[in-house]
Amino acid sequence: MAKNDVKLLGIWASPFVMRARISLNIKSVNYEFLEETVGSKSELLLQSNPVHKKVPVLIHGDKPICESLVIVQYIDEVWTSGPSILSADHYDRAIQRFWAAYLDDKWFPAMRRIRGAQGEERQELVDQVVEGLALLEEAFGKYSKGKAFFGGDQIGFIDIAFGSLLGWLRVTEKVGEVKLLDEAKTPGLVKWADCFCADAAVKSVMPETEKLIEFSKFLMAKMKGAPSPKN
């Protein structure tokens, strides 16, 4: 596949964009990364994702594919010669999609609200996120079967869906001064997070926590016209 046949519209700090990048790395697909400018949407983005106008968008040849989890599944189905991301078993695939949907619909929205919340609302969000991590710890024990990843020996669909959120989890822990991934309560996930971030497919695209913190400050100050920090 020529490099120009695959393009990815994204923003370096986006956890959703990271899912596509990790998947392309797993499959050893060359691609061109087209960085969007925060606060303005390129013509190509508006044309490629007219419904949500969000990144990531994968452009394969001249065909756009939107929504990070759809993109990961597309990559898995198209580049079959690389390691599989979803299981071959139908039930296991359903379970993997279930947890990815839980992360996107429930867990991540609660986690991202912690930093801006206060008092009782904040405590409720922290409790919700910690409860979710306990469920994920249990799921990890069940699906990893003693191996490093939810997907077993190699990174799979739940690993990508969840692992891409780790950078922003760390930002919340640091800026929000709250411990979420805890060695005592979620020892399996703590170990899993280390393995995930150390994996060759992830290392080059997982931003440093300090850079994400800078970026989140920039987002908050965006109205004042601060320049965008680059990865």
Binding site for ligand GSH (CB under 6 A): 11, 14, 16, 53-56, 67-69
Least distance in angstroms from the C-beta of 127 to ligand GSH:
25
Q: How far is the CB of 89 from ligand GSH (least distance, A)?
A: 24
CA dist 79 and 25 (Å) reads 11
Closest CA to 71 of 91, 100, 92, 94: 100
- CA nearest to 63, candidates 80, 81, 76, 75: 75
User: At closest approach, how far in Å is the CB of 70 from ligand GSH?
Assistant: 8
Q: Which residues contact 184 (CB under 8 A, 6 or more apart)?
A: none
* Least separation in angstroms between CB 15 and ligand GSH: 6
Is the Cβ–Cβ distance between 6 and 30 less than 8 Å? yes
Phi first, then psi, for residue 148 (nearest 5°) are: -75, -30
**β-strands 32-35, 63-66: how paired?**
unpaired
**Rounded Cα distance, 47 and 231, in Å:** 26
Nearer Cβ to ligand GSH, position 56 or 132?
A: 56
Name the residue with the smallest CB distance to ligand GSH. Answer: 54
Q: Smallest distance, Å, CB 51 to ligand GSH?
A: 11
